[in-house]
Amino acid sequence: MTGSMWDSLLRIDLSGRKAQAWPVPADLRMYLGGMGTGVKLLADEVPPRTDPLSPANKLILTVGPLTGTQAPMQPQSCIVTKSPLTDGILNCYAGGFLGAELKFAGLDGIVLEGRSPDWLLLLVEDGRVSFHDASPVLGKGTAETEAWMKSRFGQEVRTLSIGPAGERGVAFAGVFSETRTFGRGGAGAVLGSKRVKGLAVRGTRGVGVAQPEQFARLSTENLEQLKAACAEEYNLVGMFSRVGTGAGMGLVNGRGGLATRNHAFGQFEQAAEIDGYAYAKKFYTRAVACYGCPVHCGMLHKFRKADGSESWLRGPEYETMYSLGSEVCNGDPVTLAEASQLCEEYGMDTLTAGVTVAWALEMGEKGVVSEPGLTLSFGNREAILGLLERIGRREGIGDVLARGPRRAAEELGGLGVAMQIKNSGFAAWMPRRMKGTALAFATSNRGACHKRAPIGAEITGQIDMNAYEGKAALVKSIQDRVNAIFTLVSCRFHEFVTPAELYPRFVQAATGIALSLAEFERLGERIWNLEKLYNLGAGHTRAEDSLPERCFEPIKGPASEGAVIERAKFEAMLDEYYAARGWDRDGVPTAGKLRELGLERYASLGRPAPGPRP
């Protein structure tokens, strides 16, 4: 083993119901873990033209060198697979306790291969797997499925599951893990295509590190930084710890950057009714922490549904307050809570689900689409909830919407106002308001990604959010750095407090692998390029690194007045970004760049095979 890593992945062949430990080869170990391990494995083993819902796709669940250790805020695990939503490579993350439990089970990850003939629940105990009949929970929601697994396998197991949306192949079905979600890109549909309804993990092993004393010092230093941040009244992470991720919705709204009414407006009049403070004030609230996290940004809310029954809601997170709130003109926190809960029950990403619903509501108001029994208009509770149910069940118009906003618009019309990139719904930020974020959304390998964008600097006015200049290099550096951090599978909020130079020091103390900060970030760049090659091989072109037409029209509303993306300036910014990356004008990494990154042997990966995309 390499310090804190077991150097072992569990490969589970679902077709043959076999499993075996697979020793991680030396070249893969240099990708550290998490996203790095997943991306390299997928690139090596799943050809880019693979149908994402076929048995040939693989779902790779990984953890990193800091997972399961005493380092704070390292609870997450990562899924890498080929996305049924974008038809490109996907990486997505969830916190909670599953990651640490995988590590305690003596694993750096699990690779799910093939397709089971029957629906299964998997139980992994200290590296051994057993296969169980899933029929008692088939068709059940995610929370019910996970509760059933705990009752069957023991309350101490850590779980993940899919809901009916994943079973039915909704392209943005998520994988749910207790209070957290692998939301983006449709990993739930991939799991469903393999006929895996859920996974439970139990581990009893301790996790060592290469340099225990140094690691303990670093962990203490980092914990003190986080505690100080949490204690500061106006610190971002501190506010997350008190009211959750919806703490700053007011700022976004005040600066005209809160996407409203399918991104037509930049301010929502009822934002203060649905932000983090509103939920904390209106509902009984309980904070929940992930493994080893002093921040506890997760909020559980007890609320009364419109029918009078009481219920607990996991969330909503800020992104959901947008997608099922302002974006669909829903200022009612109860309707938002019920909508969020429907997404959880069916097992769907609230972001792409909300964006798709918003598009359908606009198309409904324009008379382009209709659905029996529903009046498709913004703010209409029955329409919002009804569309989500139809998507989850793939009934009526829901069957088309379940393919994602772009594919729905290609079939029904209104492509220019489908707020998506690579078919992935926009996260809660307005590209027209924030030009760096526009570039980050467009060039994101998984589509419209908010985790690797200069959002904080732009929305707080640290840099001019209207400027195009300087954004290309900034976006590249953020993408590379965050990719590197995602090899550790650190929580995204960890970096808000932690100095960048601490990461390679943590890596060395955990694994013994010595990296400078520049080498660490170069690893992130290598992974970014590998992802890009994969997407090119899948048939993506420069056209996929663009924005919907609505982004080239001015935002409506006073605080955002005149905010627009000028097409020529956007294209110039994209050229500048490609040049900064060492890519040609079509976004293809040059031979020199691949050589520099040690990726020469992957050059052919980026050449799409002839024939139609699956």
Partner 1 sequence: MKVVFELLALFRQKAGTGRLELELPAAPTVLAALRAAEGALGGQALLQGERLREGVLVFLREPRGATRRVFQPAEERVESGQALVLSTAMAGG
In the complex, what is the shortest distance from the CB of residue 318 to partner 1, in angstroms, rounded to a whole number? 4
In the complex, what is the shortest distance from the CB of residue 69 to partner 1, in angstroms, rounded to a whole number? 24
CB closer to partner 1, 66 vs 249: 249
For partner 1, which residue of 72, 84, 244, 504 counts as binding (CB under 8 A)? 244
In the complex, what is the shortest distance from the CB of residue 256 to partner 1, in angstroms, rounded to a whole number? 7
516 is an interface residue for partner 1 by CB under 8 A: no
462 is an interface residue for partner 1 by CB under 8 A: yes
Q: What is the DSSP letter of 495?
A: G
CB-CB contact of 423 with 540 (8 Å): no
415 is an interface residue for partner 1 by CB under 8 A: no
CA 180 to chain centre: 11
Report residue 406: phi and psi, to 5°.
-70, -45
**Burial category of 332 from C-beta neighbours within 10 Å (exposed 0-12, middle 13-18, buried 19 and up):** middle
121-122-127 Cα angle (round to 5)? 170
CB closer to partner 1, 2 vs 341: 341
- Cβ neighbors of 296 (< 8 A, separation 6 or more) are 241, 287, 288, 289, 290
CB closer to partner 1, 222 vs 323: 323
Report residue 588: phi and psi, to 5°.
-100, 125
CB closer to partner 1, 172 vs 240: 240
CB-CB contact of 96 with 179 (8 Å): yes
- Name which of residues 354 to 373 contact partner 1 (CB under 8 A): none
For partner 1, which residue of 119, 148, 182, 240 counts as binding (CB under 8 A)? 240
For partner 1, which residue of 113, 178, 317, 480 counts as binding (CB under 8 A)? 317
CB closer to partner 1, 92 vs 111: 92
327 is an interface residue for partner 1 by CB under 8 A: no
For partner 1, which residue of 357, 428, 453, 573 counts as binding (CB under 8 A)? 428
Q: Choose the binding region for partner 1 from 34-42, 268-276, 521-529, 574-582 (rule: CB under 8 A).
A: 268-276
In the complex, what is the shortest distance from the CB of residue 311 to partner 1, in angstroms, rounded to a whole number? 21
Q: Choose the binding region for partner 1 from 29-37, 39-47, 555-563, 603-611 (rule: CB under 8 A).
A: 555-563
- Name which of residues 111 to 170 contact partner 1 (CB under 8 A): none
192 is an interface residue for partner 1 by CB under 8 A: no
Helix (H) or strand (E) holding 175: strand 175-177
For partner 1, which residue of 319, 338, 480, 544 counts as binding (CB under 8 A)? 319
CB-CB contact of 328 with 438 (8 Å): no
CB closer to partner 1, 189 vs 239: 239
CB atoms within 10 A of CB 289: 18
223 is an interface residue for partner 1 by CB under 8 A: no
CB atoms within 10 A of CB 154: 12
In the complex, what is the shortest distance from the CB of residue 279 to partner 1, in angstroms, rounded to a whole number? 12
- Cβ neighbors of 38 (< 8 A, separation 6 or more) are 60, 62, 78, 79, 80, 91, 109
**Burial category of 586 from C-beta neighbours within 10 Å (exposed 0-12, middle 13-18, buried 19 and up):** exposed
- Helix, strand, or coil (residue 266): coil
178 is an interface residue for partner 1 by CB under 8 A: no
In the complex, what is the shortest distance from the CB of residue 265 to partner 1, in angstroms, rounded to a whole number? 12
For partner 1, which residue of 277, 312, 413, 512 counts as binding (CB under 8 A)? 277
Report residue 124: phi and psi, to 5°.
-110, 120
For partner 1, which residue of 128, 281, 569, 595 counts as binding (CB under 8 A)? 281
Q: Choose the binding region for partner 1 from 18-26, 313-321, 402-410, 567-575 (rule: CB under 8 A).
A: 313-321
- Burial pattern 127-149, b for ≥16 Cβ within 10 A else e, equals bebebbebeebeebbbbebbbbb
Detail the DSSP E strand segments found in 244-354: 284-288, 298-304, 310-314
Strand order in the sheet with 8-13: 18-23, 8-13, 109-113, 59-62, 77-82, 89-94
252 is an interface residue for partner 1 by CB under 8 A: yes
Of 501, 489, 498, nearest to 527 by C-alpha is 489
251 is an interface residue for partner 1 by CB under 8 A: yes
447-547-553 Cα angle (round to 5)? 145
Where helices occur in 5-78 by DSSP H, the ranges are 26-29, 34-45
Q: Which two tokens stand for residue 242?
A: 């008190």
For partner 1, which residue of 26, 155, 204, 233 counts as binding (CB under 8 A)? 233
275 is an interface residue for partner 1 by CB under 8 A: yes
Spatial separation of the C-alpha atoms in residues 310 and 594, rounded to whole Å: 56
Considering CB under 8 A, how many residues would be counted as binding partner 1?
Answer: 46
459 is an interface residue for partner 1 by CB under 8 A: yes
CA 264 to chain centre: 24
CB-CB contact of 141 with 163 (8 Å): yes
For partner 1, which residue of 9, 247, 417, 533 counts as binding (CB under 8 A)? 247
Spatial separation of the C-alpha atoms in residues 136 and 432, rounded to whole Å: 48
253 is an interface residue for partner 1 by CB under 8 A: yes
493 is an interface residue for partner 1 by CB under 8 A: yes
CB closer to partner 1, 182 vs 583: 182
560 is an interface residue for partner 1 by CB under 8 A: yes
Spatial separation of the C-alpha atoms in residues 355 and 345, rounded to whole Å: 18
Q: Choose the binding region for partner 1 from 270-278, 416-424, 435-443, 574-582 (rule: CB under 8 A).
A: 270-278
For partner 1, which residue of 44, 411, 549, 561 counts as binding (CB under 8 A)? 561
For partner 1, which residue of 211, 225, 235, 285 counts as binding (CB under 8 A)? 235
Q: Choose the binding region for partner 1 from 71-79, 100-108, 133-141, 251-259 (rule: CB under 8 A).
A: 251-259
CB closer to partner 1, 275 vs 576: 275
For partner 1, which residue of 154, 212, 461, 554 counts as binding (CB under 8 A)? 461
297 is an interface residue for partner 1 by CB under 8 A: yes
456 is an interface residue for partner 1 by CB under 8 A: yes
Task: Indicate the pairing of strand 59-62 with strand 77-82.
Answer: antiparallel
Spatial separation of the C-alpha atoms in residues 472 and 489, rounded to whole Å: 25
554 is an interface residue for partner 1 by CB under 8 A: no
Give contact residues for partner 1 (rule: CB under 8 A): 232-236, 238-240, 244-256, 272, 275-277, 281, 297, 317-319, 428, 455-456, 459-462, 492-493, 496, 557-562
